[in-house]
Homo-oligomer: A and B are copies of this chain.
């Protein structure tokens, strides 16, 4: 049976534990329950009482397509609340092979302790000095680690930003092509890892057997149908593979909901330079790859390899939200410049959404000119120098940068930056931004489906209806459940439109664990996760006053639809599970 591995980063000791009270939980359900049970809600996020919890989903390591996502949880240094940040990469599969449901980093050494690498194999845990990797970007650092520990290992690591506890620091994961291009980006979890002086975790699954299936034949049958469901849906089977997530650039621009110039407009007049179609054109012309999976077993293949003008690999995991933050919202229309910033963020270990909007704050505050890609690139590079004050500001994300530069219009909820959908013209996702316990986060309840893509329903994105509250609530519940399985959130496109999909997921869980899990059990799982998260946040000092958008969304209308944010605090509370 799967185990929990607890590692004390101060004492450099470790122990394996049975699941105990955590049996039956996976992914975000596990990280959030463990945070609620074990982390003092008012503790210092970079102090000894915080824990960094890495958990696979319930279906990790199985034959189920797209089941290799990983959840990272902690009290967030950025928001001060509970955080689960979800990533692809190799680690979930390696953990499953090592029969580890969760790895928990506890306690912390002193701030001036040397950085270490923690290697995890079937035989246990070893600690190695990583002083030589201090200040080294994740690309060079992961290459060294793979050389030292074997090309088949899976690595999660922080960049210079995490080492210095930047509030927007990510944790990067190596992908199937050994690039540290997948990120648990949001909420500053890299700072938690950095506070524990851990540069990297290396998972070597050699000799690992994983756990068994209770009923392998039944699992195989369900998994086959599951793959069919993903193949058959136009979004997961065609749209995402063809253009990646950046297919959304044109769609949101058309919808008048592509936030432009720090959420002042809903359309970007130079959008043609940054579309998914343009990205594909460049990749095809330069020898990049249009379709890649972020983890083994991915059928959607929405990732890519983006090459520079000279045909050399530049970046991967180059997402719509990144293109937007460094593009439309910064008035930059040079996709190559944006790609360089994506690469820089991955290498520095920074969240592209929070840091993209921090660059926007620098533009709004007059630090660099609007639309100047090279100035923005230069700004990001300053984060490599831990003593550079401007780099310290940018690396701390949007809220911090806005306050540093005296900006009034700071687009954050719970101090986390808003993603790439203007809440005034995609009201369902606006409700999610306001009410998810995570801080502004599109992935917590992606009502863009019903508002814009017309997947799983058709709800007017411009109207302040109760429908938009209801859809956000239901999606937040469903998402929390999906995040417990380790399935990629993008399966939701197919799930929402396919009648037997929840049954099939339930069958896979039942066949894996020998239990009788039903489709009707999915929603209660999601509700349970959210209730854990609400409970932690409440004890940490969050109230309904924090479940709101910044006031400028209520005061300013967004062209071209000239819509405003109109929900009251009390309205919004109805979106909570």
What separation, in Å, do the CA atoms of A539 and B548 have in the docked complex? 12
B387 near A367 with CB under 8 A, answer: yes
Q: A-side interface residues toward B, CB under 8 Å? A: 40-44, 46-49, 111, 164-167, 195, 367, 387-390, 392-393, 396, 400, 403-406, 408, 538-543, 545-546, 548, 550-552, 555, 569
A403 near B408 with CB under 8 A, answer: no
State how many copies of this chain the complex holds.
2
A393 near B404 with CB under 8 A, answer: yes
Contact partner of A195 (CB less than 8 A), chosen from B49, B408, B550, is B408
B408 near A46 with CB under 8 A, answer: yes
Residue of B nearest to A111 (CB): B408
A547 CB → nearest B CB, Å: 9
A545 near B408 with CB under 8 A, answer: no
Main secondary structure of the interface of A (DSSP, over half): loop
B393 near A42 with CB under 8 A, answer: no
Extra 17 A-B pairs, beta carbons < 8 Å, given A195-B408, A389-B389, A393-B404: A42-B545, A44-B408, A46-B406, A47-B408, A47-B552, A111-B408, A166-B406, A388-B389, A389-B390, A392-B393, A392-B406, A393-B393, A396-B403, A400-B403, A541-B542, A541-B543, A542-B543
What separation, in Å, do the CA atoms of A552 and B49 have in the docked complex? 11
B408 near A392 with CB under 8 A, answer: no
Point out the residues of chain B lying under 8 angstroms from A403, CB to CB.
Answer: 167, 396, 400
Given A393-B389, A545-B42, answer yes or no on A551-B47 (Cβ-Cβ < 8 Å).
yes
Residue of B nearest to A545 (CB): B541
Point out the residues of chain B lying under 8 angstroms from A166, CB to CB.
Answer: 406
Point out the residues of chain B lying under 8 angstroms from A408, CB to CB.
Answer: 44, 46-47, 111, 195
Q: List 19 A-B contacts (CB under 8 A).
A: A41-B545, A42-B545, A42-B548, A42-B551, A42-B569, A43-B551, A44-B550, A46-B408, A47-B408, A47-B552, A111-B408, A165-B406, A195-B408, A388-B389, A389-B390, A389-B392, A393-B393, A539-B545, A541-B541
Residue of B nearest to A408 (CB): B46
Point out the residues of chain B lying under 8 angstroms from A367, CB to CB.
Answer: 387
What separation, in Å, do the CA atoms of A393 and B546 have in the docked complex? 25
What separation, in Å, do the CA atoms of A47 and B388 have in the docked complex? 30
Point out the residues of chain B lying under 8 angstroms from A195, CB to CB.
Answer: 408
Point out the residues of chain B lying under 8 angstroms from A555, CB to CB.
Answer: 48
Point out the residues of chain B lying under 8 angstroms from A404, CB to CB.
Answer: 389, 392-393, 396, 400
Point out the residues of chain B lying under 8 angstroms from A406, CB to CB.
Answer: 46, 111, 164-166, 392
A533 CB → nearest B CB, Å: 15
Point out the residues of chain B lying under 8 angstroms from A550, CB to CB.
Answer: 44
A111, A390, A545 pick with most chain B CB within 10 angstroms: A545
What separation, in Å, do the CA atoms of A539 and B545 have in the docked complex? 7
A412 CB → nearest B CB, Å: 11
Point out the residues of chain B lying under 8 angstroms from A551, CB to CB.
Answer: 40, 42-44, 47, 49
What separation, in Å, do the CA atoms of A406 and B387 have in the docked complex? 11
Point out the residues of chain B lying under 8 angstroms from A167, CB to CB.
Answer: 403
- Identify the 4 closest CB pairs spanning chains A and B, nearest first: A541-B545, A389-B389, A389-B390, A165-B406
